[in-house]
Amino acid sequence: MTILDSIRKSLVPIHKEGYPFIAVACVIAILLLFFSTFFGMLAVGLAIWTALFFRDPPRVTPLREGLVIAPADGVISQVGLARPPKELDLSDDPLLRISIFMNVFNVHVNRAPVSGRIDRITYKPGKFLNAELDKASEDNERNGLVITSAGLTIGVVQIAGLIARRIVSFVREGEEIGAGERFGLIRFGSRVDVYLPVGTKVQVSEGQITTAGETILCDLAAQSARDASYRVS
């Protein structure tokens, strides 16, 4: 292995969605350095932050059937019952919702929580409230996916935040997607909600830090096995 190969492997990959933004930030930094060292260095810092924002590190996803994996890097901000967005057509009654809040320093590439078929993708324009607020689920710009996995229907909703101004989707309706595969990205601060059947026993709690594609939110297969054993006994 050459020194160049070692350097390449040590660098975190950047998602291609970030290339235009990084290029613009670098050009601004170079121009400002000619006129002001102070403002030029501030621009250099902004360019570095932009590159870090669009980083897309590899992840190792647990692939056992029934696992629901965190779709986003961030912190669990809410775990509880909530009505899913109407456009998803999931349920008129509350479902279990796990909300993950991403700040501007988190990785913002989102990954599928389960393997399955993408039955529906719905985009809804809206406001740009603080994504930590509960009403952001109803009022903010969002993009929702309905995934059918092993007979269960799961909802995943990307919600734009206070700074976010664009939700990018990488998938289409009817596609098959694997757990941990990239399905979208939200630019500059946001939240992702996962909607699960009522009664699901989660393995995370509010305040816990998650890693997209790796952190296990719940184990539906193990729960079904336990429920079956209880009924038999």
Overall residue count recorded for the chain in this entry: 233
Helix (H) / strand (E) containing 83: none
48 burial via Cβ count (<10 Å: 0-12, 13-18, 19+): middle
Asked if 57 and 9 count as a contact pair (C-beta separation under 8 A), the reply is: no
C-alpha closest to that of 113 among 30, 33, 194, 226: 194
Structure tokens belonging to residue 230? 């209880």
Residues noted as catalytic: 190
Query: Facing residues of 166 across strands?
Result: 187
Return d(Cα 153, Cα 73) in angstroms, integer: 23
